[in-house]
Amino acid sequence: MSSSQAVRDSAKKLVNLLEKYPKDRIPHLVTFKEVQVSRFRRVAGLPSVDDKGKSVKDKKPSLDEIKSIINRTSGPLGLNKETLAKIQNSVSNEKFTEESINQQIHALSTIMGNKFRNYYDVGDKLYKPAGNPRYYQRLIDEIEGKKNENIFTAMRTVLFGK
């Protein structure tokens, strides 16, 4: 098996693992999962997909197409040579090996398996401090929008700490 085929197969495994990665609890414009899946889909040679799982054609030029445009012309879009040199130096040159992708697969599976959370368990003393045992639960409820505090309960919390 050639090295490029091995890299593609490893990237496919990484994409499958990334698709199992849980969604963020707080919605963001761009998430880790979305960025990494689109990045490694290109490496694996897989088509891009939208939220519903349908393949879509990329409207944006790929990194290779941008590099090609920059290298083919002496001054694209009226850029002087100094600016062009800065752009060429700042464009990342991603070269993946099978070993580097396998390391990323191992790291992601470790994160998804909560290996270090289980290994360095902190216990209830930190999760439920004696002075304010509901502190972290109130934060999580507020983030998830389950329970909103009104002005009176917020003032009570500030004044009395509970």
pLDDT tens digits along 69-97: 767 666 555 666 777 677 666 666 678 88
Q: In whole angstroms, what is the distance from residue 90 CA to residue 8 CA?
A: 25
pLDDT at residue 1, rounded to an integer: 56
Q: Let me know: does 53 contact 21? Beta carbons within 8 Å.
A: no
Q: In whole angstroms, what is the distance from residue 22 CA to residue 101 CA?
A: 20
Which tokens go with 28? 């963001």
pLDDT tens digits along 90-116: 666 678 889 999 999 999 999 999 888
Q: Let me know: does 17 contact 108? Beta carbons within 8 Å.
A: yes
pLDDT tens digits along 122-147: 888 888 888 878 888 888 887 777 77
Give the pLDDT mean for 58-63.
64
**pTM, whole model, 2 decimals?**
0.58
pLDDT at residue 102, rounded to an integer: 93
DSSP 133-160: TTHHHHHHHHHHTS----HHHHHHHHHH
Radius of gyration of the chain (CA): 24
Q: What is the distance between the terminal CA atoms of the chain, rounded to a whole angstrom?
A: 63
Q: In whole angstroms, what is the distance from residue 2 CA to residue 75 CA?
A: 37
Q: Let me know: does 23 contact 59? Beta carbons within 8 Å.
A: no
Give the pLDDT mean for 47-53.
68
Longest dimension (CA), the chain: 68
Residues 6+ apart with CB under 8 A from 35: none
Burial class (CB in 10 A: 0-12, 13-18, 19+), 130: exposed
